[in-house]
Structure 1
């Protein structure tokens, strides 16, 4: 009784700032601003929060839930202590706060749901992706873009709505939710929820589709697997691919060359185990257990190094007679760096520098010379193999010996193709992508780059027919993604021929569906021609201009002065004129860059309406940037993963600022969340986009609670592409912020801009195509400001009325876009319209706007 008397003195209210959110069948209460952590809710919590939406005595609420009218909504009668305990918990989490009762309007109840067509019992519905409940004095309020208004729901209608969660049939709800009204009223309530678009059909295409695996197995081959092979006294050679979903080209090339070396002479002494991916335990308990001590080949990249080192450590600890050979771009070539690397990784016996095919074959020859029947570590013979650093175990001091540099392979076709030779025929795990080379080498010498240690090198070509045969193998084996690992694809006319061949193979076999390439640094019209070919052939690909930065000081420091930025500007216009997709690559944290220079890079690409993808700068071990003298000159500091964190042009704090503003840029312009807002403010109010974004960023950091929807978007949208409560509230906050920060009023023009930006955001309660009539013709306004035709652009208020149409949430979910996209340069989010950015392999036909 005393506890109840204490509760009588308390008046509580559901915090009006919280929102009830839903994810994967679980409900949470929290503030979008993140000022308080989210709280997981159970069914009884929804009832409790609904009862306190208008405020009231805590004791009264406890009575209602324990034995009163509200108890019928709970599956099990809660105890007095459990109710009071939960109230205390919700108070601590600021979900419930002190507050007096307030009045409100009338809520939609079950009794109000009449005269609507019934919904089929087998129909399955779910909550909207943007679902969010907002406390209201008479229940909960919910915004629906499909109906274009807020709905205020009673407790019973709210419980009926949330019962659908991730997906239930009408029959399940009508028959199963017996605590809510009677069966007829439940059926009418469901009909009302569906009619007002608060429920979404489960069989409707969602506007968010998480990337699903497109992996397929290679065609079944009769070639022997490791299980079919018997030990025969030859030395086993183990190839160690680090991941299952790519054919490991580097290891495949080495395997192919070893096979053909001196007409197969090494095969008399070495048993090359079939190249396939196995998890470490499966590899050790399978092939290794069967064949025993041998030679292990690893290809080290930044993404495979940790895996390879762990496996290398295990096999050396198990049997020191195993010989481990490590090559690849993350095996350092600089003398001191290599010494440090081998000191840090004692399981590495031999480090290979440069191209590894010939070197690997000669190593095997040295390990098992004429007259020998087993592999032995012979320092004297290894010293005659170019391109190595190895442990001189014979000295007794375990010192390192470095041999002469390896000359590059002049005739690349001396290396057989692992695809056509059958190396990958028994890979036997599903794959996403296949990698090929049509050339090797790069004439440029960018300091941050290490293209197989082949920068500032003459470009060598593989035979064109060989490359075509590899592409055909990839198509025949139904591989979705073709990765062309050239440093400068598009440098030669034959690259256009290869693009046409890829499309021919896709037409014949249905694959590949996506091509990932590294385009030539000095941009040419060939790039536009290649993308035009891919687009016509239904290949997902886009032009990528690898600008890295336009800052003159930085370009000088990173040795890119010979790459003409004006060529990129010409190419940008060609792509725009042809309606082809284009993006640019930037780098965050290059030596020489400053916060201001990075801002100018982002602003430049906003001005020309080209999406920019920025990557953090990593110190690659064999790049010119990793030269100790270069590091000292520019005072380069890196983190534990070798990413630059400071240098002589920026501090650690300034680098964080650059990364933060880039994250805002990605949401604002990459995903188009503010694409039209920032351009209108720039064109009609002389507010540069980066000025707006910096002010927005500073405000959100200082006052997140003032703009909760904006805060949520800037923190979470890149990873969780939903907007709790819908986009309407977000753009209302943008209007309020813009007025407070820059004095821009929400007049007829700004209203049009906000409405357009809201409409291009996908919402699964909307029916598409959708057309709205606007006071000002925004499509023509946008085209006039982005065209190079020379017409004089006017302010938006000078344009007459016009319609605006969007289409295609299904295009965001079909296999031609986000579902199958391997490369993530393109942001498939903004709905299609006459002014949306060009995307690759789209089935949408954009209507051309006629400039007034």
Structure 2
């Protein structure tokens, strides 16, 4: 058992599990259902025995439970007492009246004999599994609200031994090794059979005949093998060159960490290699390992070298660590840092260099031309015939250290003709990535952004003229992607779709896809101030089987906030038009919002969310982070708007805004609750259909309903226990609290008692439809549910009214559900969302993933299985199971 530092008294009054005392089995192990940011605390056999004892029909006093559990499990009494105290503090246990859980019927198969499982069958749990405490046991309940398993505490502990693929004999041995000997081999075999019968334990992905291992190499292992071969080939080629010329060249090492073609560093290396007819290659050996591997540290640092780092918010700290390591190996190494997270403001740059003595040079702005000049100037430094200050004094766009002095040279003009930058794809510099599965790459079709939003720093290219790359070059790079079997192409343009030629580029991507089956996805940041070409682009890509989603980058629709962040959106009516077009075409669309912007308030943020609901478009809601080089980080701007952040703004720091002149830290917490409600109830559809019915019946806005659910269930979780678990933990767990049937039952009582909705056949119809639309593991599809009132026809009428411009007053133009005759709700799951997406936390909502099953009641969707790296999200044994 985990120890804690306190041992307070637990009292003698009998305790009972509260509505928040839900136990779940996930990839982490057995634990309480918890918030995404809360630490995981494992629950072992002893803790489970404690919970079961307090959940018994006649719960004992804490002292009796402590004594019994310690004797039975061998746990120390002090640790048992500490667990009880900690659970009381977390409101998992209480002396109040126990939660009035609704009794559920047993599944017909529950009493049937458990099947016998073969010893050589590889088995694995279907995760997550959420267990309800009732009468001293842990219940598993299916989608229809039937009990499919009732487990004793020790059985739950043994069950967790199948989180990873295993066999029956391995579980038997594991139980003995874990001190769970109270249950014998026959009991374990019976348990595993019962779990398999309930659908909680299933066959894992197995090897084909003749394979020695159950699984092939992982993607990471393939990457390691490919780049090990490439490193050896580079070594041999350089050794042959050195033998032929007698010249030992200085290595230039680009440092990146993602397993994808690093466009920024690729462009820099390509520029340096090709500069002046390849002159720099006389002095430099440009390594193209690309993916940093710690095992090469000795080889790469054996002699003085130049290390190039392109710093991003997510990679900056690792870049600094590599810099520290190489400078420790040899102070003569030179480290050159650039990229969007390398500080450009004078004060920030000076502080950064003083705080990180292992950073030699900071490059500001576009890096290609500056890096070429820096490398040219560093040749005598590497040879030991010049100092850094002597070499770089006349190179524009850099900041560097000269002893105790920080030197900042003049800014460099932006590159006027971007086609002068060589393409790393067409030079073959990214060929080492060939053969890597699920490869993602980035290309540019243009560079620059005419806007100056204060939160943004698009590669230091904001408020600049847009410069276009030649179409032939873009097409050639796309052909490379097709030939390489690239899974995902990301476009680094700030405003794709701004120009009519972007339609031609989309058509080229579609053509490549049809001929080569690549790429699978094409990710872009769409134009901010025009949607003229958006529908055409999305239709073209989707028609070729490319995962593409339209994104309307609004950030906010509040006029005051837009003014503060120096942004102007196009007229809302034009966005409404494209939303209607996309909806009619069955194409996925998302509105991009930001939470925590200066000028924002709880009220304006709520209005933004409601605007999305009115348009039937999901929202991607990003929390505002002050980027080190953004206008928002200008000291005068921060002072004017009283911006406070969770962490000091700096390179590699996720400095989320927590308060400004217009909202407090408490307001920020409130907005975060609203953000999560929007994601789970709307984007993932957990309460979406029911909320439309409430809007129609009572006039209550959807966001008001979601907020009422949150506040009331937080205040009185025992009244609606399943709904309370949903409100608190759905964003983190993305799984039903025990069973969606319990949630819907609670929701019915809530709507009737708290909202005033009539408890009639119309409510029954919409709640049955809402229940049918929610994914759950073990469900069988397709399903057709007969209802007394045609929910599908009513929903279609609502969407049609919104399409006709009645975004806000649609209830006045749609006949009530109860006026419709009988109907059928049809639902299917061809993408296996119920098997794949359940259990992925709400963060994936930012990627556009949702839970839309196939139904006339659903929106166009991107499913989690369409992610290029989806096999890296799930345990490998679950991908093809």
Q: Same fold (TM over 0.5)?
A: yes
Q: Distance in 2 between matches of 1:20 and 1:378?
A: 60
| SS state at 1:669 partner | helix
Task: Find the counterpart in structure 1 of residue 408 from structure 2.
Answer: 401
Q: Distance in 2 between matches of 1:14 and 1:40?
A: 17
Task: Find the counterpart in structure 2 of residue 805 from structure 1.
Answer: 826
Distance 1:57 1:617, change over 3 A: closer
* Contact 1:299-1:327 within 8 A present in 2 as well: yes
- Structure-to-structure mapping, 1:2-151, within 5 angstroms: 15=17, 18-24=21-27, 26-28=29-31, 40-42=43-45, 49=52, 53-55=56-58, 92=85, 93=87, 113=111, 129=127, 131-137=129-135, 141-145=139-143, 148-150=145-147
Of residues 626-635 and 163-172 in structure 1, the stretch that sits farther from structure 2 once superposed is: 163-172
CA displacement 1:513-549 (0-9 Å, x = unmatched):
1111111112323111111112111111200010011
After superposition, the CA RMSD in angstroms is 4.7
Uncovered stretches (5+) of structure 2, i.e. residues with no partner: 1-11, 207-217, 805-809, 867-881
| SS state at 1:284 partner | helix
* Contact 1:134-1:141 within 8 A present in 2 as well: yes
- Structure-to-structure mapping, 1:101-500, within 5 angstroms: 113=111, 129=127, 131-137=129-135, 141-145=139-143, 148-150=145-147, 166=163, 197=198, 199=200, 201-202=202-203, 224-226=233-235, 228-230=237-239, 233-279=247-293, 281-289=294-302, 292-368=303-379, 376-393=386-403, 398-403=405-410, 405-426=411-432, 432-500=439-507
- Structure-to-structure mapping, 1:608-627, within 5 angstroms: 608-627=615-634
Aligned match for 2:680, one of 667, 685, 691: 667
* Contact 1:141-1:152 within 8 A present in 2 as well: yes
CA displacement 1:39-98 (0-9 Å, x = unmatched):
724289569937972327789999x999xxxxxxxxxx9669869889867765568988
- Structure-to-structure mapping, 1:571-582, within 5 angstroms: 571-582=578-589
Q: Distance in 1 between matches of 2:327 and 2:182?
A: 66
| SS state at 2:426 partner | helix
* Contact 1:51-1:61 within 8 A present in 2 as well: no
Aligned match for 2:765, one of 752, 757, 772: 752
Distance 1:564 1:347, change over 3 A: farther
Distance 1:387 1:764, change over 3 A: same
Task: Find the counterpart in structure 1 of residue 512 from structure 2.
Answer: 505
Task: Find the counterpart in structure 2 of residue 825 from structure 1.
Answer: 847
Flag the structure with more relative contact order, 1 or 2, with Cα contacts below 8 A and sequence separation at least 6: 1
| SS state at 1:346 partner | coil
Q: Distance in 2 between matches of 1:110 and 1:748?
A: 28
* Contact 2:260-2:441 within 8 A present in 1 as well: yes
| SS state at 1:528 partner | helix
* Contact 1:129-1:722 within 8 A present in 2 as well: no
| SS state at 2:252 partner | strand
Q: Distance in 1 between matches of 2:709 and 2:591?
A: 24
Q: Distance in 2 between matches of 1:96 and 1:814?
A: 32
| SS state at 2:432 partner | coil
- Structure-to-structure mapping, 1:440-839, within 5 angstroms: 440-561=447-568, 563-638=570-645, 639-640=647-648, 641=653, 642-788=655-801, 790=804, 792-808=813-829, 810-812=831-833, 824-839=846-861
Task: Find the counterpart in structure 2 of residue 73 from structure 1.
Answer: none
TM-score (norm 1): 0.82
Task: Find the counterpart in structure 2 of residue 70 from structure 1.
Answer: none
Uncovered stretches (5+) of structure 1, i.e. residues with no partner: 1-9, 67-76, 206-211, 845-852
Distance 1:139 1:624, change over 3 A: closer
For the pair shown, which has the larger CA radius of gyration, 1 or 2?
A: 1
Task: Find the counterpart in structure 1 of residue 212 from structure 2.
Answer: none
TM-score (norm 2): 0.79
Q: Distance in 2 between matches of 1:462 and 1:736?
A: 60
Q: Distance in 1 between matches of 2:308 and 2:150?
A: 65
Q: Distance in 1 between matches of 2:25 and 2:56?
A: 19
Distance 1:13 1:270, change over 3 A: closer
CA displacement 1:173-214 (0-9 Å, x = unmatched):
99999999998x99999888777x464543699xxxxxx969
CA displacement 1:538-590 (0-9 Å, x = unmatched):
11120001001111111122222264443222211111121110001111111
Distance 1:771 1:375, change over 3 A: farther
* Contact 1:107-1:152 within 8 A present in 2 as well: no
Of residues 10-19 and 306-315 in structure 1, the stretch that sits farther from structure 2 once superposed is: 10-19
* Contact 2:709-2:727 within 8 A present in 1 as well: no
Aligned length: 806
Distance 1:110 1:32, change over 3 A: farther
* Contact 2:159-2:192 within 8 A present in 1 as well: no
| SS state at 1:664 partner | helix
Distance 1:698 1:33, change over 3 A: farther
